Amino acid sequence: MVEKFRVLGDETRLRIVKLLQQTPWLYVCDIVAVLEQPFYAISRHLKELRHIGLVMEQKEGRFIRYSLGKSVSPSDEKLYELITTIENDQTLRDRDRLRKRLEIRLKNPEISCELVEE
């Protein structure tokens, strides 16, 4: 559990988990766009979150999509519950940017990840 708190002590990783709580899965490009951070940085953060089991990845063609890891313990459930309660200006902006991005995807499901523009 200490390792999970260490990993979640990074604001970007916490923001990624909050995003994944709002939708069943996200592509890396969606997370990059919403958080406005470079691909390599988001990939590094996702690797740490995967390592402790908080997120899972699934390959889909050329793309990888991520979802929350399956909770295997009551402490994981409590941790996810606690993360849900975190709200600030940044998480509200993230939620709004994610909503807009997913609306674009919903209206244009045939476009690839790189072509989604806000």
pLDDT at 56 over 90: yes
Confidence at 93, pLDDT banded by 50, 70, 90:
very high
Task: Report the share of the chain in percent with pLDDT over 70.
Answer: 92
Task: Print the SS3 string covering the chain.
Answer: CHHHHHHHCCHHHHHHHHHHHCCCCEEHHHHHHHHCCCHHHHHHHHHHHHHCCCEEEEEECCEEEEEECCCCCHHHHHHHHHHHCCCCHHHHHHHHHHHHHHHHHHHCCCCCHHHCCC
Which pTM was predicted? 0.89
For residue 117, being part of any structural domain is answered with no
Residues 1-26, mean pLDDT to the nearest whole number? 93
For residue 97, being part of any structural domain is answered with yes
Domain total for the chain?
A: 1
pLDDT at 96 over 90: yes
For residue 113, being part of any structural domain is answered with no
pLDDT at 112 over 70: no
The CATH number linked to 91 is: 1.10.10.10
For residue 31, being part of any structural domain is answered with yes
For residue 68, being part of any structural domain is answered with yes
For residue 76, being part of any structural domain is answered with yes
